[in-house]
Structure 1
Amino acid sequence: MSIQKFIIYGAGTEGRIAKLKMEYDKEDVICFIDQNLQGQKVEGLDVLSIDEGVRLADKFNYKIVISSQKHKKTMKHTLKMHGFKNYQVFSYNTLFEAVKYSLSPRWKINKRRYIKIVEFLYPVFLVLFFPFALMLYILNFRLVYNFRFPGFGHMALEPDALLANDDFKKYKFIAIVDETNTSNRYLLDIVTSKFITIKNFYLFHLFYFMFHYKFLNYNAGNNFMKMVDKYFLVEDNNIMEKTDLNVLKYMPSVYRPLVNNEEQNFFFPEGEKENCREILDKSFGIKENDWFVCVHARDDREYNQIRSCNIHSFEQAIEFITSKGGFVIRLGDKGVQKLSYNNSKVIDYANSNVKSKIMDLYLMSEQTFLIGTITGVSDVSQMFRRPVISTNVASWVQPRYMKGDIYLLKMFKNKVNDLIIGISEYMDNKIYLSAIRDEIEILNKYQVLDNTAEEILNATKEMYAVLFENKQPFNFADQDQYRKKFPEDSMPRIGKANVSQYFLDKYKNIFGI
C-alpha cells in the first residue's frame, strides 16, 4: 500500500503551521500551492501555482490540504473550478494543540517560533504598548497597513491613492513591512520610499498587533479587501448589501483622489535604468528611441472564467502595433501559453530567459501603453502613469478611471431569452459582484461574452490616434450619457477614462444611448 502524500494549499502562516503539524504526525508534504508566492520556496518546499499544483496532485494522486480556516470556502471553490475533489481542510483540535505545535521542539527555525510566541502574547502587548500608541497619535503619526498584502496590484494602487490624498500632507506615515512576504521586493522598495519605513522581520511581527489600535491606523483602501476576505462565499443574507455599499460607495471615495490628481508619485529607480535598457537592446533589439506596447492577459479561466480571456484575441491589435513600427512585449508569469509569431517585433518576454521582477517593473514604467485585463499589471502601469487599455472588464462599475485610459466591457447574454443584457438588468442582478460571489450562479444564468479581436483592435487604434495623431476619437456626448446610466459617485461616473467608442457604438441600443 502506497503512502499518501500531500500538497498544502496556502503558503502563509497557516500553511506553515499545517506543514509543521503534518510533519509532527509523520505525514509526507511535497510542496505548497499559493498564487501570490508561486516560484518561491517556503520552509524549504517549492511553491506552485494553482494550475501546477492541481496537475501534480492529479498525476500522482496526492491529496491537497486547505490550510486556511478563514478562506476555506474560497479555496474549496477554486479546487472545484479545477475539477479537483481529493482535498481536505486542515484544522486544530484545540487551542492548546495549536500552541503545542507552534512551540514544538520540531520547530527548528527561530523565526517561526518567534512569530507564534509574539502572536500568543498579543493581548499583553496591547495593554503595555497603549501609552506608546497614544503618544504616536498625539504626535500626528499614523500606521499604514496596506503593505501587509503581498498582492502585486494593491501594493501599488493603495499607496498611490494615499499620496494623492490631501491627508498625506497632514500626517507622518509609518509603514512597518515584512519584506519576506511580498510578490515583488523592488516594487515594495519603490512604494515605501515615500514613507517612514521599518523593514525588519522581527519588528514587523512584534508591532503587528498595533494595527488593532484603530485610532492609530490610516486606511488607504484595504477596508474593502478585508471585508471581501471576511464575506467571500459565506452564506449571509447581508453579504451582498454590505459588499454593494463598498463597491458603489467606499471604493470610489478611496480612489477619487487619483482621478483628481494625476501627478506621478512613484518612479522606477534611475540607477537601474541603464542596465534594463541594455538588456532590451541586446536581447530583443529594442533601441532607446523605439517604442513598445506591453500586453498582458489574465488566463486562469479554470479558476476565474468571468475575469479571464484568451491572449490570442489580442492578435489583430498586435499586428496593428507592429505595422506602425512599434514592438509588442508580452508580460505574464513564466510558463504561460507561448506566443507564436514570425515577427521579430513581437517578444514573448514572459517565457524568455531575461524575465525578472525588476525587468517587469521597468517594462511597465517605460511602455507606451498597456493592453491588458484587470490585474495587478494594469495597476502598476497606472502607478507609473502609463495609459492602459483594459479589456474584458466584467465589473462594469469598476472600470479604468484615469484620464487617457480606455476600457472594454465583457457582455452577458441571458440564457433564458438569448438576449444580451443592458445596464438595468446588469445592475438589478448585481453581476458586478461576480468577483466575490459564486461564479457558478452567474454562469448558470448568463453566457459571458469575451471581447472580440475586432473590439480590441479598434480600442488600440483609438489609443494610437490619441497618442500619435493628437486626435480624440470619442463622442463625448455619448460617453457622458453612458456614464449617467450608473449610480451617482460610482466609478464610471467619477472616472475620466472612456469606453472604447467603437464598442459603445456597437452596443448603443443595448446601453440605451
Structure 2
Amino acid sequence: MMQRYFKFLSVPYRYARVRVNSREFKKFTQEKGFKSFLRVLIISLQVAFSYLFLPISFAFKMCGFRFVNVDLEQIGSIFYLDLLLREYALAGLNHKKIFVMAPSESLANRYLVKLYRSHCCLIHSQFLCLLLSPFFLSPVYREDSGVNFDTTNFEKPITNSIFQKFEKKIGKSLVEMPQEDISDCRKQLENLSIRDPIVCIHARDTGFYGIKSQNTRNADINNYFEASEYLIQKGYQVVRVGDPSATKLDKKFGSLGNKFFDYAHSELRSEMLDIYLMSQCVFFIGCTSGPSAIPMLFNTRSVNVNWYNPQSAFLSLEGDLCLLKKLVSIKKGENLSLPELLTPPFTKNLTMNELHQLGYLLEDNTPEEIRLAVTVAVEGLEIGCDGADYITDQHFCFGHRGRFLESKHLAGVRGEFSQDRDLYDKSKVQHLV
C-alpha cells in the first residue's frame, strides 16, 4: 500500500526537450479525472519547492554535487545516463557526489542500471527520491537529465564529442558485464544448444506499449526471415530478443531449426540475459527502439534496419550500418532522397497521419533490403575491414565510419561518433542493389 502512495507522489522524469509537467498536463486534459488533477497538483508543488531550494541547489552544484533525473523506465533512456556519467568522468567529478534517481520498482532493466553503481550513487528508494525532489527537479540541474543529448538534434555534436574524448582517454566502455555473469549466461544458453557466434534481432511492435498510434517505428519481424536464413548459412546462431507481447513468428521460421531461437517468447528470459545477448553478440540487428541503444554502451556493432527518422540514425558507433525506412511521394511514386530526408519537416517524428497529409507514405524495408544490409555487415567482418572507406566496389563494411544504407541505392554517412557527418557519393555504390 505504501509503495502505491509513493508511486503516486513520485518525482516526474525529465524528458529530452519536454517540460517536466507537459506530459502530466496533457494526460490531465485528456482524462480530466480527479486522480490526474491531483497528480498535476503534486508535481506543480514539487516544482515550486525546487525553486524555493534554488540557493541550496546552487551551493551543492558549486561543491561538485549532481542530481541526475533520467527516465530509466525506458531501456533506451539508459543511454542518456551513460552519456552523462561519461561526461562527468571526463570532468573528473567525484562519483560519490553524483546522485541518480533510480526507483527500483520502475527501472526498465535493474541489472543494467546496477552496473553503473561504481560510477554514481543510485537512489532506489521512492521515499528518498521524494525527499530529494527539490534537487532532482531543480532548474540548476536541468542539463543533468540528457536534455542536451536529444537524438533528434544532431546539429549540436555533444554526444559525438563525449564519445570521442572518452574513447581516447579511457579506451573502453564505461560499464562491462562481470566475467562471472558472462559465464553464467553462456552456460544457460548452451544448455539449449545456443552457442557463439550469436547475432541478435529486435523488431519493435505495438505490443510493449500497446499504443497503436505509435507505429511509425514498428517493424514486422517476419520480414527478417531471409536475413536470418542467410546468417544461419554463414554459421551464426540467430536470437530474436524482445518482450513476450511481441508479434508471433510465421511458421516458416520453424524451417530454421534450433539455429533460430525466439528468446522473446521463452521462459529463459531474464534482465541479465537481456543485456548479455545485446552486449555480447557479434552484432545486433535493431530498429528505432530502446534496445538499439544497448549495444552502443558496450561497443558492440549494430546493423539497424527499418529506421525512422534519419536524424536519430546519426546516433551510432563508427562502422555501424543503418537502413532507413522509405518515404514515398503519393503523387510521384518516388522515394525521398537522403538529403531530402535530412531537411524539415521530415527531421521530426511525424505520425502516419501527418505524413499522409503532407502527401507521403512510410514504407518498411523489404526482406531483400534487410538481407542486403546483413550481407554487407557479414562480408565486412569476413574481409576484416581495417578502416578503409571502401575495400572494393563490391563491399561496404564495418570500419572507419558509420554508414547509412538507403533503399534503391547505397549511401554512406559518417556516424555521430566519428569525426564528421558527410554524405557520400551514391553513384559509386548504386550497382550494389
Q: How far apart, in 2, do the equivalents of 1:13 and 1:249 lie?
A: 42
Equivalence for 1:311:
221
Q: How much does 1:165 deviate?
A: 3.1
2:328 to 410, 413, 417: 413
Alpha-carbon distance, 1:330 to partner: 0.3
* CA deviation string 1:102-158 (max 9, x = no partner): 9xxxxxxxxxxxxx6x9857746754x555434422322222222x44110111x11
**Percent of pairs with identical residues:** 22
Query: Is the 2:69–2:137 contact (alpha carbons within 8 Å) kept by the matching residues of 1?
Result: no
- Tell me which residue corresponds to 1:43: none
1:344 equivalent in structure 2: 258
- Report whether the alignment pairs 1:277 with 2:186: yes
**In structure 1, what residue type is equivalent to 2:155?**
K
Name the structure 2 match of 1:440.
353
1:489: how far off? Answer: 11
1:293 counterpart = 2:199: yes
Q: 2:63 aligns with which of 130, 139, 157?
A: 139
* Structure 1: gaps (5+ residues): 1-11, 18-66, 77-87, 103-115, 229-245, 509-513
Task: Find the partner of 1:451 among 353, 358, 365.
Answer: 365
Question: Contact 1:412 / 1:448 at 8 angstroms: preserved in 2?
Answer: yes
Matches within 5 A, 1:20-419: 69-72=24-27, 89-92=31-34, 98=38, 120=45, 123=48, 127=52, 129-130=53-54, 132-146=56-70, 148-155=71-78, 157-165=79-87, 168-172=90-94, 173-216=98-141, 218-219=143-144, 221-222=146-147, 247-250=153-156, 252-259=157-164, 261-262=166-167, 263-282=172-191, 284-287=192-195, 290-300=196-206, 302-339=212-249, 340-342=253-255, 343-399=257-313, 400-419=315-334
Q: Distance in 2 between matches of 1:94 and 1:479?
A: 44
The C-alpha deviation readout for 1:317-338, integer Å capped at 9, x for no partner, is 1111111111000001113223
Distance in structure 2 (CA, Å) of the matches to 1:330 and 1:481: 23
Q: Which amino acid aligns with 1:154?
A: S
Whole-Å separation in 1 of the counterparts to 2:381 and 2:414: 29
Q: Aligned in 2, Cα 1:441/1:151: closer, same or farther, shift over 3 Å?
A: same
> Aligned partners of 1:14 and 1:71: how far apart in 2?
22
- Please tell me the residue identity of whatever aligns with 1:182: L
Residue 254 of structure 2 aligns to a residue in which SS?
coil
> 1:403–1:497: 8 Å Cα contact kept in structure 2?
no
Determine if contact 1:248/1:489 at 8 Å carries over to the other structure: no
Mean Cα displacement is larger for which, 172-181 or 411-420? Answer: 172-181
Paired residue total: 387
Q: Secondary structure at the match of 2:205?
A: coil
CA distance in 2, matches of 1:291, 1:143: 40
Instruction: State the shift of 1:191 in Å.
Output: 2.9
Distance in 2, matches of 1:385 and 1:497, equals: 22
Larger radius of gyration: 1
Contact between 2:321 and 2:402, CA under 8 Å: does it hold in 1? no
- Tell me which residue corresponds to 1:242: none
Inter-CA distance 122–160: structure 2 relative to 1 (3 Å threshold): closer
Summarize deviations over 1:268-323 as a string: whole Å, max 9, x none: 233423322221011x2124xx2110001112394333211211221111111111
Asked whether the equivalents of residues 321 and 328 of structure 1 are also in contact (C-alpha less than 8 Å), the reply is yes
Change (3 A) 1:311 1:497: farther
Task: Give the whole-Å Cα distance in 2 for the aligned partners of 1:94 and 1:191.
Answer: 34
Rounded Cα–Cα distance in structure 2 between residues aligned with 1:265 and 1:477: 21
Residue pair 1:405, 1:497 contacting (<8 A) in 2 also: no
Decide whether aligned partners of structure 1 residues 90 and 137 sit closer, same or farther in structure 2, where only a CA change above 3 A counts: same
Aligned residue for 1:328, secondary structure, equals strand
Matched with 1:33 is: none
Alignment match, 1:57:
none
| Structure with greater contact order relative to length (CA < 8 Å, sep ≥ 6) | 2
Are residues 1:431 and 2:355 paired?
Answer: no
Distance 1:261 1:92 in 2: 48
Deviates more, 1:118-127 or 1:423-432: 118-127
1:70 to 1:503, Cα distance in 2 relative to 1, 3 A: farther
- TM-score by structure 2 length? 0.75
Name the CA distance, whole Å, in 1 between partners of 2:246 and 2:35. Answer: 40
Residue 361 of structure 2 aligns to a residue whose secondary structure is: strand
Matched residue type, 2:197: W
Q: Residue 249 of structure 1: CA displacement?
A: 2.4
Alpha-carbon displacement from aligned partner over 1:344-367 (angstroms, at most 9, x marks no partner): 100011111111222111111211
Residue 14 of structure 2 corresponds to none
C-alpha RMSD over aligned residues: 4.2
In the alignment, is the contact (CA less than 8 A) between 1:161 and 1:255 conserved in 2? no
Q: Could you tell me whether the CA contact under 8 Å between 1:248 and 1:397 is conserved in 2? A: yes
Structure 2 alignment gaps of length 5 or more: 10-21, 386-390
AA in 2 matched with 1:310 = D
- After TM superposition, the score normalised by the length of structure 1 is 0.65
SS, match of residue 153 in structure 2: helix
The alpha-carbon deviation at position 408 of structure 1 amounts to 0.7
- Paired with 1:428 and 1:323, the residues of 2 have a C-alpha distance of 40
Tell me which residue corresponds to 2:15: none
User: Structure 1 stretch 382-391 or stretch 159-168: which is displaced more?
Assistant: 159-168
**1: CA distance, partners of 2:201 / 2:36:** 49
